[in-house]
Homo-oligomer: A and B are copies of this chain.
């Protein structure tokens, strides 16, 4: 009767609202302290501590001691990937926790998804790369073309370095706000890092939004055109 992996256990870990909020906060990719995570979860630090212990025990989080702080991060990108896929599914079934606020539009425009760009701009970027022949798409599978390699070089991204990592170069990730795919993988990460480096955009302090400067906005739209 009992056979196979226990999905109930990790379902239960994610199923608590406070824990889910903490995990969502960690999707931004930064390491956060227990106190910050308590804030994110809307609970006291004592409660957060027990939650964090459970999440760590379940293999979702790892902690790093640094002085009197404990920084928590998602264990690895398998966790990020898992959460992404659940988010995508939840969005597809209309399980939103909408509370439409002022930050909402900024979030839909551009936000960080674990370590890469998501939202309207993320989707636009992938669309443009596919339309321009830099990335080819077969079903859900993405791969970089020789053409695209040159194109990225001109932007300032060295693809050969990325290829040597064990992580997939291109991966498609379902966007919960747009319900379409955007670019994940090490290339997606590198592209976002590139924009931040160039000063085109910066990360919001207390949200997952990516805020583009007026100049950065212009450059981004020029670099990733879409035919009307």
Contact = CB atoms under 8 A, between A and B. Distances in A.
Interface residues of A, number: 65
A140 B97 CA distance: 32
A168 B19 CA distance: 34
Interface stretch (A2-10, A43-51, A192-200, A217-225): A2-10
> How many copies of the shown chain assemble into the complex?
2
A85 B82 contact: yes
Contacts of A169: 139
A96 interface: yes
Interface string A81-113: 111011111111111111101011001000000
Nearest to A142: B141
Contacts of A89: 10, 78-79, 82
A89 B83 CA distance: 11
Interface string A19-52: 1110110000000000000000010000000000
A223 to B, nearest CB: 24
A11 B12 contact: yes
A1 interface: yes
A11 to B, nearest CB: 3
A13 interface: yes
A186 to B, nearest CB: 10
Contacts of A142: 141
Given A15-B15, A139-B143, A169-B139, A78 B98 contact: no
Contacts of A8: 14-17, 19-21
Contacts of A86: 5, 7, 10-11, 82, 86
A78 B95 contact: no
Interface of A: 1-17, 19-21, 23-24, 42, 58-60, 78-79, 81-83, 85-99, 101, 103-104, 107, 138-143, 168-171, 176-177, 185, 207-208
